[in-house]
Chain A
Amino acid sequence: MNIQQLFSEAQQLSSPKLRDEIVHHLYQRSNQLCQEGVTYSKSKSDTKTEKLDAIFTSPFLGFPIMIVMLGLVFYITIAGANIPSTMLAEFFGWLENYLTAFFTFIHAPDWLHGVLVLGLYRGTTWVISVMLPPMAIFFPTFALLENYGYLPRVAFNMDRIFKKVGAHGKQSLTMAMGFGCNAAAVISTRIIESPRERMLAILTNNFVPCNGRWGTLIVFASLFMAANFTGGLKSLVTTGVIVGLVLFGIIVTFFVSWVLSKTALKGVPTHYTLELPPYRRPKFFDTVIRSSLTKSWAVLVRAVKVAAPAAILTWVVANIYIGDTSILMYMVQFLDPFGQMLGLDGYIMLAFILGLPANEIVLPILLMGYLSTGALTEVDSLVDLKKIFLEQGWTWVTALNMMLFSLLHYPCGTTLINIYKETKSKKWTFLAFLIPTVIAILVTFIIAQTARLLGWI
């Protein structure tokens, strides 16, 4: 008898009633164990969780609290990261002078100084100063919220909307993971029981900006959108812009899920159960230290590993000339018409293409591209940074579209690899690349053309 025959044989012997009985026996035994080995003295138990749930999942306050929480996490991250970011940038700039002096002292050839200091060193230190402070604040803050037990409440509140668009309520949990890292979030979709809804969660996860894109979003939001504000208000306006972008990403997620579940991933929402665990105060220091050491550090190491070769490559293509034009300029000129159509330019398009391995390196590559042509070669502060962009003809539309393109474009290389591993399908992996890319192009195109038509720029 082979195993399949055995299975049908067993099905003959079995019946729904018998199956129920098996579980029933287990429960009877559990119950018996509890009666024999456990005594319950107080009658009413967990009122704290009930009271908190009355607020966090309240019909009036549930949704506003979610948005405030989201904003709060971003605000703490943005406001807190500002000063350390500047300090890191200043420190690395200070160190660069000594490195340059050392290269001059040993009479190193210009190209060596270029590759190692202007390429490798600058590229990676920019990644560190832009990325590390927000990560070091975001991950622990988020881990605290996660360990406290708030996230399942978000899934509880949002489920109805997910159901409407044909998706699974637990998708909000995987989206929350996406704020940290989309590649990890793709793996976390394993908690979703049904394959169809899991695929929706995988295909749309990218519309949640990961840590690798935050640096970019924060820089442009504070340089261009919150430019006229100072101090605490500046961070607040920046936060507002970021929250707006995130909400837009969520709307796109719903829209794409809805379209897909009407077309390629047709089907009705399948079964759903969600546990709401009691709120538990996390161990503050344990959580903070663990998440900083494991997550922030791991993500940073990955970013630097990708940034180092990318920075060298960028410097090399910017400095090898064919005729009187560098390779970089050839690429930029080739991409420029398309970039202009989207309200961007050739440098930006090139940065996104070279940034495929990791979103962290998009901004550094862009800056290196601009610096290789512009008059400014020293970037000591954010003011200098803005000057570079303005010199290249940036307007608020360029900044907005840069942020939108970053939010909506294709997932990074690591995420795509994970999508392939999880779906084992080239077709779906390609769609995971194509859908966001098409949306990013459409949205930026519409904004750029409208702005031009109405004479805003």
Chain B
Amino acid sequence: MTNPIRVALAGNPNTGKSTLFNALTGLRQHTGNWAGKTVSLAEGKVQYKGKTYSFIDLPGTYSLFSNSTDEEVARNYIVFEKPDVTLVVLDATSLERNFNLALQVLEMTTNVIVCINLIDEAEKKGIKINERILTNKLGVPVIKLSARNKVGFDLLLDTIERIANGTIECKPTLMTYSDEIEEQIYKIEPYIRGMIGDRLSSRWVSLRLLDGDEKLLNEINKRLRLEEVKITDEYSTAIL
């Protein structure tokens, strides 16, 4: 049996992310604890065209620069657990702030689908979204959804499948910063690549270091050390 394809749902709080998760997975989901909302990670499995997809509902987060334990859980999952596909759920009625998270995720990982949820509510408010332009600009699929009324699900599942099997290749458009920032990235990126290899995007880690995200750094440090322990363990068992 092959491992299920892991699909993580990230997004700002109150974007209907949990509604989407519930609608996608029905009642086939479980959490470690009885947990009111998404405080621990809820997981739900879905069969689609003969493959198993495991959807993971992450706690709502405004940014990858985590602030609360809840946000740290979400950040760590996207950054370190590396889901096969990450869905970033956006609220169509407040796209400007929501894009902030999407752009941050796109700096860090490639297999991303931007899901613009609450599309019916936005249309009522006279907001028209051209997903083709956005797809072009972002370099990853942008899909309009209404989780509440289950609109856009076929396209979403189909896109997930095609990203997972490699038919669609995501090429996120790289954010370029001012010359000053780019210069600093240029200075520290080689060191970071030397340290973390290609485990994470070294450009992204450089930016976070300039950002002063000490928590992230500690997490990377912790995980690198764990990896070392693992390797030496394997080594010692090998010589025994």
Contact = CB atoms under 8 A, between A and B. Distances in A.
A33 interface: yes
Interface residues of B, number: 60
Interface stretch (B47-55, B92-100, B230-238): B92-100
Contacts of A36: 133-134, 137
Contacts, number: 166
A187 B104 contact: no
A294 interface: yes
B104 A26 contact: yes
Interface stretch (B1-9, B33-41, B160-168): B33-41
A44 to B, nearest CB: 9
Contacts of A149: 14
A78 B104 CA distance: 48
B187 interface: yes
Contact of A6 (B22, B178, B191): B191
A41 B192 contact: no
Nearest to B134: A37
B175 interface: yes
Contact of A25 (B35, B70, B131, B175): B175
A29 B139 CA distance: 14
A378 interface: no
Interface residues of A, number: 61
A214 to B, nearest CB: 16
Contact of A13 (B36, B125, B127, B187): B187
Interface stretch (A125-133, A156-164, A275-283): A275-283
- Overall SS of chain B's interface: helix
A46 B92 CA distance: 13
Contacts of B40: 187
Contacts of B70: 190-191
A38 B184 contact: no
B133 A37 contact: yes
Nearest to A296: B34
Nearest to B16: A280
Contacts of A278: 93
A9 interface: yes
B35 A184 contact: yes
A149 B15 CA distance: 12
Contact of A38 (B73, B121, B129, B210): B129
B17 to A, nearest CB: 12
17 contacts: A3-B221, A6-B195, A7-B209, A7-B214, A23-B100, A29-B99, A30-B95, A31-B96, A33-B138, A37-B137, A41-B128, A46-B93, A46-B125, A190-B59, A191-B59, A192-B68, A280-B121
Interface of B: 13-14, 22, 27, 33-37, 39-40, 59, 67-70, 73, 93, 95-97, 99-100, 103-104, 121, 125-131, 133-134, 137-138, 148, 175, 177-178, 180-181, 184, 187-188, 191-192, 195, 206-207, 209-212, 214, 217, 220-221, 224
Given A6-B188, A180-B36, 18 more contacts: A7-B214, A10-B210, A14-B211, A26-B100, A30-B96, A30-B103, A33-B138, A36-B137, A38-B130, A181-B34, A183-B34, A198-B69, A277-B14, A283-B148, A286-B22, A290-B22, A295-B34, A299-B34
